[in-house]
């Protein structure tokens, strides 16, 4: 059998073996001890020709209910947003997607410049001085922010609000275990971080306080009050933020955040069953040399022409080994490119318009649901998500919604026992008034 | 070339231009001030560019032309496995049933995605000889950390809290010790012998009651198979430690041997290397981890299980190290890897390793007369030359790497591993034709000759790239990490 990715012909093989001085390629594997030589065939499925493969993979894909065919009200950290067509056309330029990390700057100026622009856009949105070239996702970026804070303050207590994404908190706990750090969770009151509880928890041992803005319930945390509590104890203020919301919300940098992290999935990156997305990591100037991951910097070439390189690499694992600020190497470069294209397409005006539309549509949905007699759990200002109390299990209600062509919201009872039968509903700019009205009608009848 | 080839997107911005199209607001508009307190409403819009769609496309097309990928030309970057990235992978990953599904949908609505993941993890377990595989880690380094966290949890569950040391060979990639640190271990080094393999006596000296694990790539970073692997496994296991396999070099051994059969307890793979998930200019990757039976209880949550005819995520795992990533890993990359495995099948994957190794040996033998070859035995999928002969002529390995740019090649990995002076680490992969290899050999020989006859041609390279050598010292001394938007 021949394979379309393997150009080796019998003639090539013969000539090459001659040059190497062997009579069989088996000789090249003689250093593998007989005892561990694999005999026989790997027990995996046989190769499929391209047409059959497309049919098969497509049959697997078709078993899934997708958000193109169903109107989705599911968010909880991953969102169905407008993706300009141009995003896909750029990310399919194979000069980008078949390249490695830009370690040879002379032939990687395209990637390097694109990332430099990404770093700039993230700084602009978050109101921070420095942003890196991306992290795996928002959850691991948050965990890395905690590690950075512990290193910077030489303190071991990490405080996180329960209004931070439950899966991010779970990831944080695992990273904290790795570094022998203590994680203290602060409760919520009316769907916002309980400031009294926070005040009591933060002390001279606290490395950082982690909050989410808008938080997991969609509500706008009082960053101003939280900042005072955090900085009074000289702890680090870490804010995880949906960057699309920052088209309209005051950026965390304005409230004195030391580190801002989050996920740029909202900018042109498919939900893709949870990944790959695109974590971002932004800090103040003071923390520039503590940032995990890769940074692109501007410089000049021998002729004084502007160019870009990976820089401040003394922080990184391949140079510092066990003393590195983080072990991250591969990041999400291609998705950072996708996010850059989407942010560019939206531009100054579109970024605001899309954020405003999310607020408007989500508030319309809240009002319609309330009018239908559904109980809205919280009353604080919110972005594009809010919590409703339902009359039955969310899982069952979502089945009914699916029958009506909709993907329902997130079952908060999974993470918050006190929120049994509570649904977190996301309404993005893509949801039409008709879809929202239909959601209200169907929910009313359940 | 005009000025616009290098303009930043911000420099093309002009007030009033747009590159997007949103539906008009179809719900009654309410004043923003009535919804959000004024302190929390952004005063100044973010300084994003204002450009039209064609301007965006031209901008990124121009950037792409200033970038070298595998599709542009040969990319023999050692240890990175820069093989062809199949186009069907890209198509399949974009099917709405894979791309447009939400990770928190009811499980009944995403059974196809879960079936795909289950098939992939089962295939990877077979290819590596492990008992169970998690697909959650996002990249190789993330997989390393996940694997080490499991080893730590295993020792702690046995009451072995004093096992704080992870042993890494002196030829190991820097990520290994960095991952050990993040997982709460100290790393110590074991020396290589004159043949480039782990020195067994030194290994016996460094193992002990404090040994948590030995991390190893096999073939190692010199492209050499650690033929004493069984003795090494015995030494580490007898001391009570675990054996960790860094799968960066898996491309050399598929169907020939399996880490699980060599005695490894934990394995991570880089799906963006061996299994063709594209490198994407630095990511996203995917770094699944396979384990032997005794480590299964410590796998990260959730664990994907078959249940009757369907599939489910299992969360009730009391001994699990916990979550390592939100949701279920880099699914989109996993789709691509599975598509590739189904394209190749068992015979195809074995051919992959056979040809990757033959290509590397062919290059090595053809280049051997012209460069120093520190380790002369057959190599696996990659090999390391030393540029010390040329260095004596005043031409460094860096110069030769830059000179290769003029021939349209991405240079090999250089100055790694650290144990080889002026190292040049070459990995051709199996997807390159003999013609490409021959042309590359000619270029390398020409450069070796230039080093003797006209060293300045090499020293001043590159001559044909869009920028000359860049001032990296200045970039680090006075960092400019963003454009200041006017």
In angstroms and rounded to an integer, the radius of gyration of the C-alpha atoms of chain B is 25
Chain A residue at shortest CA distance from B283: A332
My answer on whether B224 and B266 are in the same domain is: yes
Mean pLDDT (chain B) is 96
Hey, are the CB atoms on B279 and A101 less than 8 Å from each other?
yes
My answer on whether B297 and B333 are in the same domain is: yes
Instruction: Please return the burial class of A26, using the count of CB atoms within 10 Å of its CB with bins 0-12, 13-18 and 19+.
Output: exposed
Smallest Cα–Cα separation from B180: which of B232, B123, B244, B136?
B244
ipTM of the complex: 0.97
Q: How far apart are the first and last CA of chain B?
A: 26
My answer on whether B327 and B362 are in the same domain is: no
Smallest Cα–Cα separation from A48: which of B251, B430, B451, B339?
B339
B484 located within any domain: no
Instruction: Return the residue in B436, B467, B473, B486 with the most chain A beta carbons within 10 A, the one to mutate for interface testing.
Output: B467
CB burial readout B237-248, b (16+ within 10 A) else e: eebbbbbbbbbb
The Cα-based distances of A385 to A215, A238, B23, B314, B438 in angstroms read 9, 22, 20, 28, 60
Q: Which residues pair with A184 in a beta bridge?
A: A159
Coil/strand/helix, residue A343 = helix
Hey, are the CB atoms on A76 and B104 less than 8 Å from each other?
yes
B248 located within any domain: yes
Structural domain spans, chain A:
71-83+348-444, 85-341
A16: nearest CB among B127, B182, B362: B362
State the smallest CA–CA distance between residue A271 and chain B in angstroms: 6
My answer on whether B317 and B362 are in the same domain is: no
* Rounded average pLDDT over B465-482: 96
pLDDT score for B5:
60
Per DSSP (E only), the strands in B205-344 are 211-216, 242-247, 266-269, 289-291, 303-307, 310-314
pLDDT score for A298:
97
Residues of B in contact with A246 (CB under 8 A): 42, 46
A311 interfacial to chain B (CB closer than 8 Å) = yes
pLDDT score for B171:
84
Give pTM, 2 decimals: 0.97
Smallest Cα–Cα separation from A148: which of A332, A328, A329?
A328
At B9-51, the pLDDT tens digits run: 999 999 999 999 999 999 999 999 999 999 999 999 999 999 9
A55 interfacial to chain B (CB closer than 8 Å) = no
My answer on whether B322 and B358 are in the same domain is: no
Domain hosting B61: range is: 3-65
How many domains does chain B fold into?
Answer: 3
Peptide bond into A214 cis (omega under 30): yes
Residues of A in contact with B401 (CB under 8 A): 104
Please identify, among B343, B376, B396, the residue that sits at the C-terminal boundary of a domain: B343
Hey, are the CB atoms on B282 and A399 less than 8 Å from each other?
no
DSSP annotation of B192: B
Chain A residue at shortest CA distance from B462: A106
My answer on whether B357 and B331 are in the same domain is: no
CB contacts < 8 Å between A and B, how many? 697
At B141-169, the pLDDT tens digits run: 999 999 999 999 999 999 999 999 999 99
Euclidean distance between CA atoms B296 and B133, whole angstroms: 9
Smallest Cα–Cα separation from A334: which of B56, B280, B91?
B280
At B101-149, the pLDDT tens digits run: 999 999 999 999 999 999 999 999 999 999 999 999 999 999 999 999 9
Q: CATH assignment of A85-341?
A: 3.40.640.10
Task: Tell me: pLDDT of B4 over 60.
Answer: no
My answer on whether B186 and B137 are in the same domain is: yes
In this structure, CATH architecture of domain A71-83+348-444: Alpha-Beta Complex (3.90)
My answer on whether B145 and B279 are in the same domain is: yes
pLDDT score for A317:
74
My answer on whether B223 and B360 are in the same domain is: no
My answer on whether B213 and B121 are in the same domain is: yes
A137: nearest CB among B39, B326, B362: B326
Are the beta carbons of A156 and A127 closer than 8 angstroms? no
Residues 6+ apart with CB under 8 A from B407: B440, B443
My answer on whether B166 and B214 are in the same domain is: yes
pLDDT score for B1:
41
Please identify, among B343, B372, B395, the residue that sits at the C-terminal boundary of a domain: B343
Are the beta carbons of B71 and A98 closer than 8 angstroms? yes
My answer on whether B248 and B165 are in the same domain is: yes
Could you tell me what percentage of chain B is helix, strand and coil, using 3-state DSSP and rounding each to the nearest 5? Answer: 40, 10, 45
A240 interfacial to chain B (CB closer than 8 Å) = no
Phi, psi of A266 (to 5 degrees): -60, -15
CATH number, domain of B393, equals: 3.90.1150.10
Confidence of residue B173 (pLDDT cuts 50, 70, 90): confident
CATH number, domain of B278, equals: 3.40.640.10
Q: In which residue ranges of chain A is pLDDT below 50?
A: none
Smallest Cα–Cα separation from A257: which of A295, A291, A212, A297?
A212
B74 located within any domain: no
Share of chain B above pLDDT 70, in %: 99
């Amino acid at each position: 059998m021949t394979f379309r990715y393997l150009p080796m012909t019998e003639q090539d093989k013969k000539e090459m073996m001659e040059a190497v001085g062997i009579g069989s390629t088996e000789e090249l594997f003689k250093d593998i001890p007989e005892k561990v030589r694999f005999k026989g065939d790997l027990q995996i499925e046989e190769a499929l020709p391209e047409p059959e493969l497309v049919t098969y993979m497509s049959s697997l894909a078709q078993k899934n209910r997708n958000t193109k065919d169903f109107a989705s009200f599911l968010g909880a950290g991953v969102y169905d947003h407008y993706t300009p067509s141009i995003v896909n056309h750029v990310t399919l330029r194979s000069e980008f997607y078949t390249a490695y990390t830009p370690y040879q700057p002379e032939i990687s100026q395209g990637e390097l410049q694109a990332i430099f622009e990404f770093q700039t856009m993230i700084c602009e949105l978050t109101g921070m001085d420095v942003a890196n070239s991306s992290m795996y996702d928002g959850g691991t970026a948050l965990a890395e922010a905690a590690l950075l804070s512990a290193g910077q303050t030489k303190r071991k207590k990490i405080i996180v609000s329960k209004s931070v994404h439950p899966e991010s908190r779970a990831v944080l706990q695992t990273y904290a275990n790795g570094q022998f750090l203590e994680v203290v969770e602060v409760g919520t009151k009316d769907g916002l971080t309980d400031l009294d509880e926070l005040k009591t928890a933060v002390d001279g041992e606290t490395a950082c306080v982690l909050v989410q803005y808008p938080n997991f319930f969609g509500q706008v945390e009082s960053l101003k009050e939280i900042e005072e509590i955090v900085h009074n104890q000289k702890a680090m203020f870490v804010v995880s933020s949906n960057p699309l919301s920052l088209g309209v919300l005051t950026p965390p940098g304005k409230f004195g955040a030391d580190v801002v992290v989050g996920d740029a999935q909202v900018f042109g990156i498919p939900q893709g069953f949870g990944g790959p997305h695109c974590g971002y990591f932004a800090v103040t100037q003071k923390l520039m040399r503590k940032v995990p991951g890769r940074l692109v910097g501007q410089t000049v070439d021998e002729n004084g022409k502007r160019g870009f390189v990976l820089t401040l690499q003394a922080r990184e694992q391949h140079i510092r080994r066990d003393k590195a600020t983080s072990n991250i190497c591969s990041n999400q470069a291609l998705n950072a490119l996708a996010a850059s294209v989407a942010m560019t397409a939206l531009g100054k005006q579109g970024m605001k318009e899309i954020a405003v539309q999310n607020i408007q549509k989500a508030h319309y949905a809240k009002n319609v649901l309330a009018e239908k007699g559904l109980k809205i759990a919280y009353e604080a200002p919110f972005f594009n998500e809010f919590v409703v109390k339902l009359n039955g299990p969310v899982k069952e209600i979502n089945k009914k919604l699916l029958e009506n062509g909709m993907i329902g919201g997130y079952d908060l009872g999974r993470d918050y026992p006190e929120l049994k039968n509570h649904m977190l509903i996301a309404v993005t700019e893509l949801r039409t008034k008709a879809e929202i009205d239909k959601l209200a009608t169907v929910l009313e009848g359940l | 070339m005009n000025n616009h080839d290098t303009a930043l997107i911000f420099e093309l911005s002009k007030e009033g231009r747009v590159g997007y199209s949103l539906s008009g607001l179809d719900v009654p508009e309410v004043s923003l001030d009535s919804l959000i307190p004024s302190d929390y409403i952004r005063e100044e819009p973010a300084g994003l560019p204002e450009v039209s769609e064609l301007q965006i496309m031209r901008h990124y097309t121009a950037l792409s032309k200033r970038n070298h990928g595998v599709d542009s030309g040969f990319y023999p970057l050692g240890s990175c496995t820069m093989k062809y990235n199949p186009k069907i992978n890209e198509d399949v990953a974009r099917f709405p049933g894979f791309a447009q599904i939400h990770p928190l949908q009811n499980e009944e609505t995403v059974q196809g995605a879960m079936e795909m993941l289950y098939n992939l993890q089962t295939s990877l377990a077979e290819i590596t000889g492990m008992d169970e595989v998690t697909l959650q880690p996002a990249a190789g380094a993330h997989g390393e950390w996940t694997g080490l966290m499991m080893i730590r949890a295993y020792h702690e569950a046995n009451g072995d809290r004093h096992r704080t040391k992870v042993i890494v060979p002196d030829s190991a990639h820097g990520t290994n010790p960095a991952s050990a640190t993040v997982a709460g271990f100290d790393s110590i080094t074991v020396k290589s012998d004159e043949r480039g393999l782990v020195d067994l006596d030194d290994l016996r000296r460094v193992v002990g009651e404090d040994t948590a694990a030995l991390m190893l790539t096999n073939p190692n970073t010199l492209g050499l198979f650690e033929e004493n692997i069984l003795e090494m496994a015995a030494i580490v296991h007898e001391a009570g430690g675990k054996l960790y396999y860094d799968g960066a070099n898996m491309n050399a051994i598929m169907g020939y041997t399996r880490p699980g059969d060599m005695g490894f307890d934990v394995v991570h793979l880089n799906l963006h290397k061996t299994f063709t998930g594209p490198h994407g200019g630095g990511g996203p990757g995917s770094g699944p981890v396979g384990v032997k039976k005794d480590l299964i209880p410590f796998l990260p949550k959730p664990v994907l299980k078959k249940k009757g005819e369907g599939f489910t995520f299992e969360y009730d795992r009391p001994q699990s190290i916990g979550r390592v990533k939100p949701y279920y890993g880099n699914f989109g990359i996993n789709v691509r890897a599975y598509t590739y495995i189904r394209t190749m099948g068992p015979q195809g994957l074995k051919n992959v390793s056979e040809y990757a190794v033959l290509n590397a040996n062919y290059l090595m033998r053809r280049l051997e007369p012209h460069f120093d070859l520190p380790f002369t035995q057959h190599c696996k999928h990659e090999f390391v030359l030393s540029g010390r002969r040329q260095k004596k002529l005043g031409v460094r390995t860096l110069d030769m790497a830059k000179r290769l740019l003029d021939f349209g090649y991405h240079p090999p990995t250089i100055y790694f591993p650290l144990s080889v002076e002026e190292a040049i680490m070459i990995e051709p992969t199996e997807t390159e034709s003999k013609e490409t290899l021959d042309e590359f050999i000619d270029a390398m020989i020409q450069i070796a000759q230039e080093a003797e006859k006209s060293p300045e041609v090499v020293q001043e390279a590159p001559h044909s790239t869009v920028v000359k050598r860049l001032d990296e010292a200045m970039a680090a001394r006075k960092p400019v990490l963003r454009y200041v938007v006017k």
